[in-house]
Structures are given as C-alpha cells and as structure tokens.
Chains A and B, each alone.
Chain A
Amino acid sequence: QKEVEQNSGPLSVPEGAIASLNCTYSDRGSQSFFWYRQYSGKSPELIMSIYSNGDKEDGRFTAQLNKASQYVSLLIRDSQPSDSATYLCAVIVNSGYALNFGKGTSLLVTP
C-alpha cells in the first residue's frame, strides 16, 4: 500500500494567522492531489485539487505541490475558527481508481 503521511496534530493557530498543513506521499507515479476538509461527524468536503508543480490559489487557500520532493501542502490564510476541522490529504495514482488518504491533520483555530 502506497503511503500518504500527515502529522496528526492537533495544529493550533490563532485567529487571523496562516495555518500550514503538510503531506508527503511515497508513490512517484501519483498524478493528482487533493485536500479535503472534514468536520466532526460529517463527510469529507473537497477544498483544493492540484495536478502540476507549483502553487494554486483559491480564496484563502493555497495548495503547493513539489513532485520532486513528493510533498504537497495547504496554506490557509487569515484562519478563522470555522476552519477548525480535520484536513485530509489524498492522492490518486491511477485514473479512476481510489483516493489514497492520509490519516488527517486536526486544525484548531483559537479566537
């Protein structure tokens, strides 16, 4: 089983700060990379996807991909208490097949 690794946290940041979430993956053939947000008792919600090296920005969220280092990250600017959730990193190796998930990082944004 190819690995997707995340620090379980909790990662605690003050309101208004930048939260930085990190993920590494073991399969160099991985094609597509995703960040999901999951609130307690809810289903995973897709917040960012990235396919090419570099940065991709969407509102307060920036995903960063470095395929040479097998590293993908998520930055959340101006963090809000409503951002408190578990963030799941996921990777697809082969089109149509399953997402391979990390175990998630718990983020706590304190007022």
Chain B
Amino acid sequence: DAGITQSPRHKVTETGTPVTLRCHQTENHRYMYWYRQDPGHGLRLIHYSYGVKDTDKGEVSDGYSVSRSKTEDFLLTLESATSSQTSVYFCATKRGTGVQETQYFGPGTRLLVL
C-alpha cells in the first residue's frame, strides 16, 4: 500500500457544501499528488505538491484547492461541491528520481455529490 492512507474512504455530500479529503503518507516522500478518476476520462491530475507549502495546479484544478502544512499530509478541498465533482479521488506519492521515478497510489476516496 506504499504507506498511503486516505480519509474518508467514502463520502456523500450535498451540492454547495465544502468537503476536505485527506491523504497521509508515512514514508517522508517529498512529492504528493491528487488525481480523480472518471469513466471515459481515466486518471487526471488535480493538484500536486513538491514540498511543504509548495503546490501547483494540474489539468483539472478548477473548483479545488490544496494545502500541505506537513510532509506527511496533503489535503484536497472542494470549496463548494458540485455534482460534476462526483468521482473517485486518488492520492499518490513519488519514489525515486529522474527517469527511474515511480508513483504509488493510495486506496482512494469515493465521493458522491447529490
């Protein structure tokens, strides 16, 4: 499991409410990522972090914000959830450097926005 946990694992919420998903890693990796997975689109990057307080946007960042105040935790916030944000969210961390780097995924969070 690459030492990655995600919480909650399942969540149902209503449109317009804020939602925060947490990713926790135990291996002190510098890089962390948030992806979402939707049928017909595959996995797409939302945001990533390359260190404490260092984050950047990915392909589908609109409507999402992130924070990383500690190496081990990377939070994804939906400021005002919409039905289009119903998805499965995966956190990942990077191991290795250069061409031999790899990414390992957490177990995922299933989010349903009603």
Contacts and interface: CB of A to CB of B under 8 A. Distances in A.
Interface of A: 1, 31-32, 34, 42-46, 49, 51, 88, 90, 92, 95-99, 101-104
Interface of B: 31, 33, 35, 40-45, 48, 50, 58-59, 90, 92, 94, 97-108
B9 to A, nearest CB: 11
A54 B40 CA distance: 31
A51 B100 contact: yes
B45 A103 contact: no
Given A43-B90, A43-B108, A103-B42, A96 B31 contact: yes
Nearest to A4: B42
Contacts, number: 57
B43 A99 contact: yes
A87 B50 CA distance: 27
Contacts of B48: 97-98
Contact of A95 (B45, B58, B99, B107): B99
Contacts of A1: 59
B41 A96 contact: no
A98 B102 CA distance: 10
Contacts of B102: 32, 34, 46, 49
* 7 tightest A-B CB contacts, nearest first: A98-B45, A103-B42, A43-B105, A101-B43, A51-B99, A101-B42, A31-B99
